[in-house]
Every structure is written in C-alpha cells, then in structure tokens.
Structure 1
Amino acid sequence: MKDLDSKQWIAYILGKQGSQKHLSEIENLKNQDSEVYFAVTVLWKIMTSWVYNLKEY
C-alpha cells in the first residue's frame, strides 16, 4: 500500500470479497491504513444495502 493506486485496488478487492471472509484481517488494517479500512467498510455497507441493486439512480 505504497501509493494511491495500490490502495484503491486493495480496497476494491477486499470489499468485493465480503466482510465475513476477512473480518479479522480488516480489523488489523484499521491500525495500518485507516483510509483503506474506511474504503473497504463503506464498500461493504453499500453492497449489503438495498440501494446496491437499483437500476435507476
């Protein structure tokens, strides 16, 4: 996680995996890089929300 591009990819990959699979590792990430932790948890919230599958925005 040395640059913005790698941080975005890590957040996307972990976010798409689902929270239960990597929950303990993500909690450790909170101390290492709070921005990536925030991005992953927001992506989880969006993907589990009712707005995720809307066709019209």
Structure 2
Amino acid sequence: MTTKRSIIMTIALIIIALIAILLIVAATKPDQFRVERSMIINASPERQTMAPESNG
C-alpha cells in the first residue's frame, strides 16, 4: 500500500510542479500584446480604383 501511496504522491508533486512552471512562465509574459495582419492583393491597374472620400 505504501508503494501505491508513493506513486500517487509523486504524480501529485509532478502536477503541482507543472502548474508552478506554467504560472512562472505566464508571469514573465507582457500584460499586453499586439496583433498585426497584412494582405497583398494582386489586381490589374484597371481594377484598382480609389475609394471616394466621404465628407459627412
């Protein structure tokens, strides 16, 4: 029975250690982050039009 208890304690300690590592890594990350996206659209010059500006 002590072997079974020892295995359970070992597993519990490993889980606690993994949670602690996760929290430490999360604490070192910045509070804010930025996402940038870009897209290249291939269009012929005939298809490229300027969008009209709205002044209203």
TM-score bin (small chain): 0.3 to 0.5
The TM-score with structure 2 as length reference comes to 0.33
Is the radius of gyration larger for structure 1 or structure 2?
2
